[in-house]
Amino acid sequence: MKMQAGMVNYSIKDLEKITGIKAHTIRIWEKRYGILKPLRTKTNIRFYSDQDLRLLMNIAVLNKHGYKISSLNNMSDDEVAKSVLDISHAEKNQTYNVDQLIIALLELDEAGFNRSINAAIASSDFENVFEYLIPQFLEKVGILWQTGSVSPAQEHFMSNLIRQKLIAATDHLDYPNKRTASFMLFLPEQEYHEIALLYFQYIIRKEGFSVFYLGQNVSLTHLNDAYLLNPVDYLLTSITSPVSPDKLAIFISSLLSIHGKKPVLIGGNMFKDRPTFFPDNFHYLDTIQMLKQFLREI
């Protein structure tokens, strides 16, 4: 994938990675139906534009919903886009919404990104979007990252827009009564994957509990300082980046020395599919539903 003069050019392999449609199938659609009309380099290598990518993603949605490629060939780009929009409205289609977010990410289109998320929230609800749509989107972004189709700039752009949505939604919640249970949320040093933690904050605040949000890359010393000023009822953290068993043991021991036998909630992919043994007061959050259940039982 190359950036040129304010636009993005994609190879056929880029299209395959982004849309999930095999390059062989794309070539057949081009040759037999003229679905895409790629340009070529001086060395006769195909390349595709943002418009080609958008059209192909829309065609893929329609094809999955029973439209024949031969009939799509007779539709204008606007007719294709309208048909996809109709499907999205009728079914609250997650695939369509994820694809629109991917396009906005690749084009660094902030207005398009916000428009797509707002439309998904309007047709569903905030929690459904952040528990189902955003994880699907982030999973696809992870694949694009691994294959080199997404740059660090695009990844930061996307992360900050999602952060803004979560922070704005949390700011609109009422402040809880000071007598409610209190939580301190933080990510340990070298942890920067903050989206899940921000969503945890939203859910806890929505359930009426107090939250003291310290954010990412918090040292144990600073955590201890904050805890001495405000000894909360619960600590909540998450670890995604790989950590050695020795460092993990030190981390857990430090939390015990800070928080004593009070409950500690801990999540993150670091512990998925691993036989990790926590102290009795540690509760592993494998899903957001586990956090919701924990809050209901307080």
Map out the domains of the chain with their CATH numbers.
Answer: 175-297 (3.40.50.280)
DSSP string over 115-147: HHHHHHHHHS-HHHIIIIIHHHHHHHHHHHHHT
* Cα–Cα dist 232/211, whole Å: 9
Residue 6 banded pLDDT, cuts 50, 70, 90: very low
**pLDDT, greater one: 229 or 88:** 229
What pLDDT does residue 3 have? Answer: 47
What pLDDT does residue 230 have? Answer: 94
Q: Is the pLDDT of residue 5 over 50?
A: no
Output the CA angle 264-230-172, nearest 5 degrees: 85
Residue 92 banded pLDDT, cuts 50, 70, 90: low
**pLDDT, greater one: 148 or 206:** 206
Place of tokens 């309208």: 82
Least confident of 74-78, 131-135, 162-166, 294-298: 74-78
Place of tokens 């919640």: 173
Q: Is the pLDDT of residue 296 over 90?
A: yes
Q: What is the pTM of this model?
A: 0.77
Tokens representing 86 are 């109709």
Average pLDDT of 113-121?
88
Q: Give the H/E segment covering residue 259.
A: helix 245-259
